[in-house]
Structure 1
């Protein structure tokens, strides 16, 4: 068993106790976000640091004029 630390830009996203270590290039889903493994560092026999890049979510713009038109006027 390995303690796997998942990092994105020096920010630790998740710690997990896993039976196998992800390889470079594997696709992962962490906290509902898709990501790809870029680097794997074995710290010691049981600890592994995994660097990932997370895909950016598209920004949804709300159209406030359309929302105001839908409201009931009194």
Structure 2
């Protein structure tokens, strides 16, 4: 089955952020995406968004654990 492609608006909705913030995350490489079409609209594979969410969860857990160690 083909991977679902998300727009920046989709990414923003899932993460509860603004579209410009989603665009910045993609441009900075935090979320892997690619540009399509003549106007360079961004698309993100759903698995890439899932991977970003998992990395953020792991980082948050590590920060919490570090706070409890001190």
TM-score (norm 2): 0.30
TM-score (norm 1): 0.29
